[in-house]
Structure 1
Amino acid sequence: MIRYIEIKSMDLLNDKFFAYIDEICIKESDRGQGLGRMLFDYSYDLVKSNGAESLELGVWSFNEGAIGFYRAMGMVEKNIRMEKK
């Protein structure tokens, strides 16, 4: 079962249009069946066909499984967000 995917479009001041995946959620017991790949590929095709220059997302640095998945989907690191408490 696919839980959901949420995609937001962003239109920056410099006229660059990109889409942002806010969340992808696959039920843990349903992972490893290609559902995430299918959902990601569909989302990418959808946003590109609607004029987005890129598809972007954020992922927690400790979420190694998700990072590996996104890299396998062809995504590359664009920026690093840091904090100090």
Structure 2
Amino acid sequence: MRTSDATLNFPNPSRTYDASRHCVCFWGYDNSSREITFLVEDAMLAKLNSDMDSGEPALLAAFDRNRDQILALARDLYKSGPQVRYTIS
């Protein structure tokens, strides 16, 4: 069963780049205050920004420019249950 938008929140705007996984990581919280980790792969950021550079600053900037769209994708992907990590690719 999918949760509604109201059950997953993103109060912390922080995000980090994980070079070993080639993704930008960010966190949301569900109704139970569980921290849910989301990983946005470099390839997904490239789809959203076809003209971007491949360096860390450019990837973080691409995430920031598309934050609302990425958060909507995270809400669509999220399912309540034991899983606490999701990859957006």
**If the TM-score is normalised by the length of the shorter chain, which range does it land in?**
under 0.3
TM normalised by structure 2 equals 0.25
Highest Rg: 1 or 2? 1
